[in-house]
Amino acid sequence: MSNGGSGDIALSKNQRREAAREKARILREQQKKKDRRGRFILQGSIILVSLAIIATVTLIIVNSIRPPRPGPLNMLSDGIVIGTNFEAETTSALKAGDEPVASTPDPEMIAIQIWLDYQCPVCDAFETANSEQLSTLVEQGIATIEIHPVAILDSQSLGTRYSTRAANAAACVANFSPNSFYDFSGLLFENQPEEGTSGLTDDELVGISEDAGVSRASRVAECITDQNFKNWVADATQRAVGDSALLNDEGQFGTPTVLVNGSRYTGAPDDATAFAQFVAAADGAAFSEENSVSPSPSPAP
């Protein structure tokens, strides 16, 4: 008889083999459970990332297909007409996708139309040379001035698209404070940045609008910083560039483009005398010595 307990009885070879198999089976089951948990976690992470990507792409698509906004009020022709007392002619807004409606000139007045880019140095030269006589023509009730802001020099502002932002700011003023437009437009040229710089900031454009005495200043400021009319600026620019009536002899559109009673001014932009003579010739018999304006009037004593 043996003196050892039942726990001391040695397992047979088959029993040891079965025990090893059972242990291996248990380990395999545990590993399978770990693998399943790992796959579930990985799949869950992939699903979350995919949902985030889908949400981002959806947002981009929704924004890209958002219905385009209408243009600014008082610019149904893609320009704003400034007349007696420097007041703007009021019009409805140009609906998105519609073609602009040409303004109807007063047959008793000279109709001067100007397409300009607020970063264009040649436009600034024209403004500097002729702003005084243009203002006098309006003050005396002799002429209306229709200003068409466009953006063809965005590439000259180090990626800030200043031409578009300035034209958008002008559209904001036309929309919310149209009778301040003429002063605001002039101030943009007085503060014109050089080509090849980043241009004025949106806050500086807002400041200039305040200097122009705009009404509804907070709405104008919000419109400028949000660039509410940037799409309209792009569309109006494309329409100007594609208008055969505005192309020069080389078949190109440039700024400033100036029409007086429908005739293009081709003289030097900075020659006030040449422009005054052109205005007189374009107006013909309606332009008399009594209502003519000197390009460089002498200061009052």
pLDDT digits (tens, 9 = 90+) for 29-50: 788 777 777 777 777 767 776 6
Alpha helices (H) along 65-150: 121-139
pLDDT for 58: 55
> Would the pLDDT of 94 be above 70?
yes
Round to whole Å and give the CA distance between 137 and 125: 19
> Would the pLDDT of 68 be above 80?
no
> 299 pLDDT band (50/70/90 cuts)?
very low
pLDDT for 153: 98
For the stretch 235-272, pLDDT in tens is: 999 999 999 999 999 999 999 999 999 999 999 999 99
Report the chain's mean pLDDT, rounded to a whole number. 87
> Would the pLDDT of 229 be above 50?
yes
pLDDT for 62: 44
pLDDT higher at 29 or 156: 156
Mean pLDDT of all residues in 82-110:
96
> 289 pLDDT band (50/70/90 cuts)?
very low
- The number of beta carbons lying within 10 Å of the beta carbon of residue 197 is 13
Task: Provide the 8-state DSSP code for 91.
Answer: -
Of the listed ranges 45-49, 191-195, 215-219, the one predicted with least confidence? 45-49
pLDDT for 7: 46
pLDDT for 287: 45
User: In the numeric block, which tokens belong to residue 278?
Assistant: 């052109």
Q: Check if the beta carbon of residue 253 is closer than 8 Å to that of residue 241.
A: yes
Alpha helices (H) along 65-190: 121-139, 162-176, 181-190
> Would the pLDDT of 83 be above 50?
yes
Round to whole Å and give the CA distance between 155 and 160: 9
Q: Single out the residue of 104, 103, 182 nearest to residue 139, CA to CA.
A: 182
Tell me the percentage of the chain whose pLDDT exceeds 90. 71
